Amino acid sequence: MRIWKNINGFKASKAVVTIGIFDGVHLGHRFLLNHLRETADKISGETVVVTLWPHPRLVLNKDPDNLRYLTSLDEKIYLLEKEGINHFLIIPFTTEFANLESCMFIKDYLVDAIGIQQLIVGYNHKFGKNREGDFENLKHCASIYGFGIERMESKNLDGVKLSSSLIRELLHSGNLDLANKYLGYDYFLHGKVVGGNRIGRKIGFPTANIVPDDPHKLIPRDGVYAVQLEVEGKLYPGMLNIGFRPTIETGMTIKTIEVNLFDFKDDLYNKDVYLHFKNRIRDEKKFSGIEQLREQLVIDKETAKGMLGEK
């Protein structure tokens, strides 16, 4: 997949295009992306996924402090590369761009720069100034500039309409199993291992502290999880705690993400990692003391090993 950070010099043959944020690249998105590839194959064309970055809510100052997304830009690239897309075009989102009328965007970007043959959009897609670019408006623009347009129906699973907002709600509530089912993969985050206070090491459960690469990355509900940590392409089983460590540090205000890897001895400090959430074990809780915490961690470790198929 070729990644373009702006439109300058963009080249694609018989471009079949879709536009969207694609937060999570979940099963509903992949339903559309599969159709994008099939359509391009029929005309010996190339697939083009167009997105906007930074997230429009950040630029337009629409409650940015509460913005949480399923995938950072790097994570989105990581997932789209697996979908066999030819071109991923990242258009810088600015206040000036936000005021661009939808038909002008189509002319300047899709027609003149990309050379669009076919546009495929999701069932609820809107874009352009004041989100005026609904499907009827897009059809009108397509007829002016001479390219095809198609709107996909929503993707349902077990009678549920798949959406990024639904998956975000599931992760916030701790329903990891259902979130992973709708994503079509185990939820993950990309981050860096940083130094901690080494308290876990003193009770026999050394942990690596992980900081996500994007402050707006959605962190699942506080609690203990069975996870796999991907380091330099290799997966290592472990258990994870998300929360405020109430047994160790009363009144702590900064949430931590700490993973204990089973039978792992190497130094992870300052390494880039992918943390894959496999199963949720329990809520975070406050114990009467360090010894009771350690006893619970022994139980959690066996639970996590069972979930991960480890001996």
Domains and CATH numbers, the chain: 2-161 (3.40.50.620), 187-308 (2.40.30.30)
Q: Is the pLDDT of residue 133 over 70?
A: no
Residue 199: band (very low, low, confident or very high) from pLDDT cuts 50, 70, 90: low
Q: Is the pLDDT of residue 131 over 80?
A: no
Instruction: Identify the pLDDT of residue 80.
Output: 96
Residue 266: band (very low, low, confident or very high) from pLDDT cuts 50, 70, 90: confident
Instruction: Identify the pLDDT of residue 151.
Output: 94
Residue 51: band (very low, low, confident or very high) from pLDDT cuts 50, 70, 90: very high
Instruction: Identify the pLDDT of residue 130.
Output: 60
Average pLDDT over residues 227-239: 96
Instruction: Identify the pLDDT of residue 273.
Output: 95
Q: Is the pLDDT of residue 77 over 70?
A: yes
Give the number of other Cβ atoms within 10 Å of residue 137's Cβ.
17
Give the whole-number percent of the chain exceeding pLDDT 90: 76
CA atoms of 96 and 119, how far apart (whole Å): 24
Which residue, among 221, 157, 164, 216, has the nearest Cα to 190 in the 3D structure? 216
Length, in residues, of the chain:
311
Lowest mean pLDDT among 81-85, 103-107, 196-200, 288-292: 196-200
Lowest mean pLDDT among 2-16, 163-177, 205-219, 252-266: 252-266
* pLDDT, mean over the chain: 92
**Top-confidence residue, 287 or 218:** 218
Average pLDDT over residues 23-50: 97
pTM of the model: 0.93
Contact 180, 187 (CB under 8 A): yes
Lowest mean pLDDT among 42-46, 130-134, 162-166, 268-272: 130-134
